[in-house]
Structure 1
Amino acid sequence: MIDATITVTGLRKRFGPTTALDAMTFTVAHGQVTGFVGPNGAGKSTTMRVIVGLDAADEGSALVGGQPYRRLHKPLHHLGVLLDAAALQPSRTARDHLLWLAHSQGLTARRVDEVIDQAGLGSVARRRAGGFSLGMRQRLGIAAAMLGDPAALMLDEPFNGMDPEGIVWMRGFLRSLAAQGRAVLVSSHLMSELQDTADHVVIVGRGKVIADTSVAQLLAAASQGRVTVGTDDPAAAQVLARSGATGVTVTGAQTLSVTGMSAQAVVAALNAGGVTFSEVSAHRATLEQAYLDLTRDAVEFRAADGPVTR
């Protein structure tokens, strides 16, 4: 398979007085799905456009397999791209849309039929794409991105418009691409889907990289070693404090949050102290929680009560 590692180094880009990218730097490695997330205005779409040469960076470089995208011979063999599912001629059928792209890259009609089946478009291949739902257009965009059997893929919000069946399909499809050794970059606002799909995550805000780490490491750090204890025994807090807990906080009528001890150590301490309890569970943060904590100061617009409004 062609080496098509995506390498972004020191990208800077301004649109008038607005800084869109500020030394953006990260790498998308083979064999994993990399989630690319951040608030609106964080620079995700601009970065993707720079990678494929639709926008020119003021400084820095964006390389695919060590080369700028514009220098790639038959680029669909190197990088499959879905930036806008609506970017098609609506009067063309799905198959004709793919044939048009295939001919530009020296690909055959047989390859078109293969990606149609791969994207689950067989029953609608001869329908005009202008009548497709957003979810079906996403599938058509995926089929187009796969035409060249590329070593890397870059997909902007591919879960948008997908029904539950489509989301399940997309999740499995992305995982299968990584398992084949491809480099996969996926931008999405659906944190729950990325948590179940991505191996690695690049979180950005105001044009800068805020975090560049594995999903497992990010969730472990966000969980902060907390353990939830369900008990109505008033002695529980004192027993845990004496046993080495660095913090015991009452979080509910019969719930404690404990730090500084593993779940196993908490159970041992409670049993040794004769404390009755109904639950002991290690807290596991979600990707959404970790993301919100990291991007708290990087959102473009925020309502008075906190949530992002754009």
Structure 2
Amino acid sequence: MRATIEVNDVRKRFGSTVALDGMSFTVEPGQVTGFVGPNGAGKSTTMRVILGLDAADSGSALIGGRPYRSLRSPLLHVGALLDAGALQPSRSARNHLLWLAHSQGLTAGRVDEVIERAGLGQVARRKAGGFSLGMRQRLGIAAALLGDPPVIILDEPFNGLDPDGIVWMREFLGELAGQGRAVLVSSHLMSELQDTAAHVVVVGRGRVIADTSVARLLAEVSGDRVTLRSTAPQEAARVLEQAGATVAAVDRDTLTVSGLPAERVVTLLGRYAVPFSEVTAHRATLEEAYMNLTRNAVEYRATTGQESAR
């Protein structure tokens, strides 16, 4: 069931607006890949190109080595949720899934399976038009799972979920990746991706800014920064600066130390009998890393009134 998503040097313009400018990355099976960037960075356009909804001007986007348009029964190859509102509001949740299932040769039994898996059992026969955004997200997830595909693509799946729903989504995405699926998830909620994604692709201005593991990215941003609390801050600063650190005062008894790991700071202070009450290594968040990387990745603005980058 293993398959990859491969985006290779994809370029796309809408009139005078460059939406994708050589977008390239791979989503590997067996992990959740976060797909993040500012508004207008090209995330939604990239997803639409992968799914054959927009045609690339050049480059390729492949699912399991094949373009989407060549897939027979595509729900068996890739499941996607791009717009939770893309449904007929007068249909019940179950009927919405039934017509999708029938179009792919899938059974009503499979519909009932995904309804339960998405937590929709009690509302399956209610009209979808009355659903909250969170419930529509779950219905979209159920639709994406219908064909039991090896590839899952979700655009902002955490939107509209209550705290219980967010916990469910985290666990659910981890379960999908644990089954060997390639899972691509865009989100503006960095805290949720930090707890969910093993890999992250950061984009801006239609290009990839970073394509790395979440752990490696956080380590790079964290650096060797340490917070130190001491009743002898001047003595502590002198000892650490002599060892090559850069030290800055935060307040009367707190210092920020750069250039030495926390273990080395503790060793030096102990060797010179400098009192301290706290030595804490800085742990960057994915949001902090994201802000650092995308600081100059401003949103595109169309100049001719044509469709802007999405």
Please classify the TM superposition score into its range, dividing by the shorter chain length.
over 0.9
**Equivalent-residue separation in structure 2 for 1:190 and 1:273 (angstroms):** 45
**Equivalent-residue separation in structure 1 for 2:160 and 2:89 (angstroms):** 18
Corresponding residue SS for 2:211: strand
Which consecutive residues of structure 2, in runs of 5 or more, have no partner in the other structure?
A: 301-310
**Equivalent-residue separation in structure 1 for 2:68 and 2:149 (angstroms):** 13
Report the RMSD for the aligned CA atoms in angstroms: 1.0
1:95 aligns with 2:74: no
Corresponding residue SS for 2:45: helix
Please give the per-residue CA displacement for 1:191-248, whole angstroms capped at 9, x wherever unaligned. Answer: 0000000000000001000000000000000001211111131211001122x24311
Name 1:248's counterpart in structure 2: 247
**Equivalent-residue separation in structure 1 for 2:194 and 2:110 (angstroms):** 32
- Determine if contact 2:7/2:26 at 8 Å carries over to the other structure: yes
Name 2:267's counterpart in structure 1: 268
- Determine if contact 1:4/1:79 at 8 Å carries over to the other structure: no
- Determine if contact 1:89/1:130 at 8 Å carries over to the other structure: yes
Q: TM-score, normalised by structure 1?
A: 0.95
Cα shift at 1:265: 1.2
Once the two structures are superposed, the pairs formed by residues 31-46 of structure 1 within 5 Å of their partners are 31-46=30-45
1:112 aligns with 2:97: no
Corresponding residue SS for 1:210: strand
Corresponding residue SS for 1:298: coil
1:257 aligns with 2:266: no
Name 1:147's counterpart in structure 2: 146
- Determine if contact 1:227/1:257 at 8 Å carries over to the other structure: yes
Name 2:197's counterpart in structure 1: 198
- Determine if contact 2:6/2:27 at 8 Å carries over to the other structure: yes
After alignment, is 25-34 or 68-77 more displaced?
Answer: 68-77
Corresponding residue SS for 2:125: coil
What is the count of residue pairs matched by the alignment? 299
Name 1:132's counterpart in structure 2: 131
Cα shift at 1:4: 2.6
Name 2:216's counterpart in structure 1: 217
- Determine if contact 1:89/1:129 at 8 Å carries over to the other structure: yes
- Determine if contact 1:219/1:284 at 8 Å carries over to the other structure: yes
Q: TM-score, normalised by structure 2?
A: 0.95
Letter in 1 for 2:127: R
Cα shift at 1:77: 1.1
**Equivalent-residue separation in structure 1 for 2:14 and 2:194 (angstroms):** 32
Letter in 2 for 1:238: R
Could you list the structure 1 runs, at least 4 aligned residues long, displaced by more than 3 angstroms after superposition. none
- Determine if contact 2:247/2:258 at 8 Å carries over to the other structure: yes
Corresponding residue SS for 1:235: helix
Once the two structures are superposed, the pairs formed by residues 1-310 of structure 1 within 5 Å of their partners are 1=1, 3-233=2-232, 234-242=234-242, 244-300=243-299
Letter in 1 for 2:167: V
Letter in 1 for 2:146: L
**Equivalent-residue separation in structure 2 for 1:230 and 1:107 (angstroms):** 63
Letter in 2 for 1:85: A
Letter in 2 for 1:237: A
Q: Which has the higher contact order (CA 8 A, sep 6+)?
A: 2
Letter in 1 for 2:226: V
Aligned sequence identity (%)? 71
